[in-house]
Structure 1
Amino acid sequence: MPREEDTHSMVNFLMQGFDSPLTFDLENADFILSFGCGLLDGWGSSGRMLNVWRRWATNDRQHKTHIVQVDPRASNTASKADLWLAPSPGTEAALALGMAHVIIKEKLYSKEFIDNHSFGFSDWFDEKGLEHKGFSGIVLGKYSPENVENITGIKSRVIIEVARKFASANAPIALAGRGKGTFPGSLYEFMSVHALNALKGRVNNKGGTLITDDVPLAPWADVVYDSVANNGLTKERIDRAGTLRYPFTRTLIHKFAEVINGSHSSPVDTLLLCSANPAYTMPDNQSFIKALKKIPFIVSFSPFMDESSMMADLILPDHSHLEKMVDIVRPTGIQYPLYALSRPVVKPLYRTRHTGDVIISLAKRIGGSIASSFQWANFEEAIKERVSGLYDAGENKVSWEDVKKNGYWYTPRHFFGKRSDIFKTASKKFEFFSTKIELAIKTYSKGLRPGKPSGLEGKSFDDALLNLGISAKGDEVYMPHYEEIKSGGDKNEYPLLLLPIEFINLATGWIGNPPFLNKTLFDYQLTKDDLFVEVNPKTASRYGLTEGAKAILKSPKGELSVRIHHFDGAMPDVIFIPFGLGHTAYDRYLKGKGVNPNEIIDPIEDPLSGQPVWWNTRVKLIKI
């Protein structure tokens, strides 16, 4: 399922040339500029984040880490930060570029990094002699603090003040995200935030974003394709990820449902679901449920009777997390190569089986090239073969038995400040002007893909931008910039904005919340089966909604029954609704507790990336 990591991977690829998520040396940073990351609300590795926050908080005055949280709601992170900025939702890119304007105008950027290790900062000429606008010129021309104030609602003097503090810090870092990072973000927004790191030369520097080596796992042998596989590989993916229209995106699960729903009969005849519950977790989950109903045969490997399993034709239950072996390759945001192995601590209680073992056994039963491609006796052997690469890599040699005993392998050493030969872009530098975006959009506009269908054959460049959802023009298209995310609903009919939120003690993924964690929710979040939404008191008073009042929350996609909680930390005219409740499956401890925001989210596509925008649904409140 797509996550925030996928957006970070695209940013890393487009601006630095690496096809992996960004990593952050938070432990050594002295100024944290967080654009929505719930650092105390479950973002990244929670144990790491709680530990590093304690470190920030206990530093003496001379080594204090200053924390600025950008968030339209007073979350736990915002409440404990040194400064809280609450811009209008979806305008974070403009805010980041407003700060970039100050840094560039006042020449507070790292001249050494900009002059020697970046491309596209200043105006330049290409090999044909054509002049191109630089990032600095566009930012100075469009994103003055006064203009950004009109977009975001943040006072220009505050923008200037924060930009200067960020620029004057010894080890500042800017982070892009939303909540726990469960869902993908906006590509141009994340690029805009990362541009702040580049301006200060915080790429591969202590306390900044790091370029690290991959975990040196041994590759498995190449798969031997049979005729069925070869035939399938000639076709475009059903979700359109990696096509001309979505060149940088690994997965577009919402497009998968869209294509199936738009077909007379399902192009998929068999669907395997592993560690996924899309019937619950997907924005506009009703569309995915509709698609699931059209697929002839569905197999679920879930150990839980979740929403997707209830629609399956066959359930082959996996072990629970305490009963199985799982490997973890570099948890989110970790700044060094790390490999962890979670081992079973109890024997399986029921007649379950590890999904990896099931897949290997099925492959052997099919026979032929498929069986020969799965050469292991079981899943543990497959992992063991991968782990052999940790020993063969040379440094920090460990054996399979060492990893099983210790549970992890990592290499914390890093060459801070190394700049030569680290970028894998076409320019061999950090790219404010992304040559990969330029090539992809120009290729898309010309329909250049021999032997493949193109949706824009013969169309103009402007038509291509329109189809990609990009409103910018000229060279700005290839650089970090602010794209206003349009919502599907009529603002007059749906005057409020719905913004889902995540809590550290409320599971929002494919596994439901443990019953005992439900006990940690306050009675103004969940009372019996009623879910509360957070509403600014001024907004609630306009609708005559008192504390605890019942209301209908309606969007163009549907409606939910909720109760009202007055919260001064909620932005006016924005409704904040928790993710993680509203299950229609599981047991009596979860089923029917609260409502699921995904039922009424009306997602539109993020420009260029195509990922669903889940924070921009227009809604209205109806008093009951």
Structure 2
Amino acid sequence: TWLSPVAYARALASMRGSERGRGLFVAFAPRMSLTAASADHWHPVTPGTEGLVALALGKIIVDEGLGHDVSHAEHKPLYEGVDVGTIAAQTGMAVEDLARLARIFAEAHHPVALPGGQLAGYSNGLEAVKAIEALNMVMHMGSTHGHMFLTPPAPSRDLRQPSVNSMEELRSLVERMRAGDIDLLFVLDANPVYELPAALGFADALQHVDQVISFATLPNETTALSDLVLPAHTYLETWGYQFVQPSLDRLIVSAQQPVVRPLYDTREPGDVLMAIANRLGGKVAKRLPWPNMVNFVQTRLTSLQLLEGNIESQDPDIFWASWLQQGGWWSRDNALVTPEPGEGMTQALSVSAPVFSGDGGAYPYYLQPVPSTSFGDGRHAGLPWLQETPDGMTTASWETWVEINPETAAELGIAQNDVVKVISSFGEIEAIAYLYPAIRPDTVAVPVGQGHTELGRWARNRGANVNQILADTTAADSGHWAWMSTRVRLERVGSQRQLPVLENNIGVDRAREKDHIPG
């Protein structure tokens, strides 16, 4: 969700209504998303080549010396070996379009290039992000375009957010579980059996762990395989904090506090672990010395009392009360860090070709898993109001569908509402066909979040879980899961099922107009 969709929507509206003139928004993606639909121009590039577009734009800008009062002499080594013509063929864009966009970008007063969230799902994701950020640095370093800033570090070591585990680390955990090296496994606010690709084998490995203990607010696929399930508070009933990153122009540590009394006989997971540590004593108790989560949070905030911010008192009780009242702490002064010229730009950039699982002949289509705007990765699929919320692009709800370009559908003999098998080398799922003209003919998209076997009556046995057919490929440049790296084929099942949609029966491209409007 990019942390705050509302804030970004407001920023886009501000850009559109700027007194300096309407800003231009260009999107590069194989499928038109809500973001791409808001753009002035959408370029449906080949999946995994978005980073190459950034390389081509940078190459043109540097070679032609484009931009306002900026020298590109030191930037030329970045684009050694970059051939715009080759990139045009790889991305599916014309050289003329790349040149035109490069000039528009360079002549803008405040240009910015944002790497989309789906980039992290390709095998070349990190390289692509570097190429896009380098484009920003080329335009902002030592120029009059504005400034580029680095996100400041946490105000203290205690407040740093934990890093996200890579796919390599998860794979190592699965191997240790399967080998019987893990005797006790705690699962906190996660559903790896559902969320991870079936090809990784997490569910099977879980059977080899002696004791699996899950903290959960609802029964899910992982709790079904656990030995002990401890009902946990919801996020509306718990204490916590978060160092907001990326932030605004200053350091922010936001407050999380209960807004309702616990409705049921549940407990805060942190309180449970601290109580266990206290009973065990010894080294474990020393590592978890706090009596409860409130005391833990208060201790973590101690370092902020010595810093200049919105709360000036160094009295612990007054600071705590003010932190809760104001919803957090933020630094008084601007904390953004300006990178030094040339920092991070010392070697030639390159973006390798994306790697996809599945032979192109047997599996001719790129699969794009699309996180749900209503229930994200599926954790909120048990809430009926979110199930009822229509998708922003298709207006569909309550089901799993596969978005297919009408040209592709015609070639395969697939009609709207046909039940279709989406098959990869790792398995298959069934989904309802939705003819979607705003997607490349060589690409299909399936929303993430349905296909639960648990999670309550509103989510159970509804739709399909696309994670079951995704490759467990690891991105070589980052070690993370390349969840956009699967190829598939489509097969008609021979039946139809009406997809619940709010749009009319004519379709967004009016292709079915003759079937519903006589004459």
- Common fold, TM-score beyond 0.5? yes
For 2:284, the equivalent position in structure 1 comes to 370
Q: Which residue of 2 aligns with 1:486?
A: 355
* d(CA) in 2 for partners of 1:296, 1:622: 41
8 Å contact from structure 2 (residues 65, 71) kept in 1: no
Deviation of 1:506 after TM superposition, in Å, equals: 3.2
The change in CA–CA distance for 1:404 and 1:616 in structure 2 (over 3 A counts) is same
Q: 423, 426, 436: which is aligned to 1:557?
A: 426
Structure 1 segment 307-326 matched on structure 2, within 5 A:
307-326=221-240
Match of 1:135 in 2: 78
**Quick one: structure 1 residues 560 and 412, their matched pair in 2 at CA, closer, same or farther if it must change by over 3 Å?**
farther
TM-score normalised over the length of structure 1: 0.72
Can you list the C-alpha shifts for 1:253-278, whole angstroms capped at 9, x where unaligned? 45534663488623222111112111
3-state secondary structure, aligned to 2:58? helix
SS of match in other structure, 1:310: helix
- SS of 1:577's partner is strand
Alpha-carbon distance between aligned partners in 1 of 2:474 and 2:143, rounded to the nearest angstrom: 32
Secondary structure at 2:301 match in 1: helix
* 1:327, distance to aligned residue in structure 2 (A): 1.3
Offset at residue 364 of structure 1 (A):
1.2
Query: How far off is 1:67 after superposition?
Result: 1.3
Partner of 1:327: 241
What SS does the aligned partner of 2:186 have?
A: strand
User: Which residue number corresponds to residue 205 of structure 2?
Assistant: 291
Q: 1:55 to 1:547 in 2, by over 3 A?
A: same
Q: Give the residue type in structure 2 aligned to 1:191.
A: K
Q: Unpaired segments of 5 or more residues in structure 1?
A: 1-41, 123-133, 221-248, 434-477
Q: Show CA shifts across 1:155-208 (max 9, x none).
A: 111111111111111211111132598999811111111110110126999865
From 446, 450, 456, the counterpart of 1:581: 450
Question: Does the CA-based 8 Å contact 1:100-1:163 persist in structure 2?
Answer: yes
* Contact 2:168–2:479 (Cα < 8 Å) also in 1: no
CA separation of 1:298 and 1:490: change in aligned 2, threshold 3 A: same
Amino acid at match of 1:53: L
Determine the structure 2 residue equivalent to 1:125. Answer: none
Written as runs of structure 1 = structure 2, the 5 A alignment for 1:216-615 is 216-217=155-156, 219=158, 251-253=165-167, 255-257=169-171, 260-261=174-175, 265-284=179-198, 287-332=201-246, 334-398=248-312, 399-411=319-331, 413-414=333-334, 419=338, 422=339, 429-433=342-346, 479-508=348-377, 510-512=379-381, 514-521=383-390, 530-615=399-484
Percent identical across equivalent pairs? 25
Aligned to 2:492: 623
Secondary structure of 2:216 counterpart: coil
Tell whether 2:133 aligns with 1:194. Answer: yes
Pair 1:371–1:176, CA change in 2 (3 A): same
Q: Distance in 1 between matches of 2:26 and 2:487?
A: 28
Corresponding position of 2:109: 170
Partner in structure 2 of residue 88 of structure 1: 46
Give the drift of 1:285.
6.1
Aligned residues: 483
With structure 2 as the length reference, what TM-score do the two structures score? 0.85
The one-letter amino acid of 1:276's match is: A
Cα deviation for residue 598 of structure 1 reads 0.4
- 1:102 corresponds to which residue? 60
Cα RMSD between the aligned structures?
Answer: 2.9
Deviation of the 1:623 alpha carbon: 1.0
Distance 2:400 2:128 in 1: 31
Structure 2 residue matching 1:295: 3-state secondary structure: coil
Query: CA 1:583 to 1:210, structure 2 compared with 1: closer, same or farther past 3 Å?
Result: same
| One-letter amino acid of the structure 1 residue matched with residue 345 of structure 2 | F
Matched position secondary structure for 1:173:
coil
Task: Tell me the distance in 2 between the aligned counterparts of 1:332 and 1:536.
Answer: 36
> Counterpart amino acid of 2:12?
W
Distance 2:179 2:456 in 1: 33
CA distance in 2, matches of 1:172, 1:513: 41
CA contact (8 A) 1:177 1:185 kept: no
Q: Deviations over 1:567-592 (max 9, x none)?
A: 11011121100011111111110111
Instruction: Indicate the residue corresponding to 2:17 in structure 1.
Output: 58
Structure 2 distance, partners of 1:294, 1:482, is 40
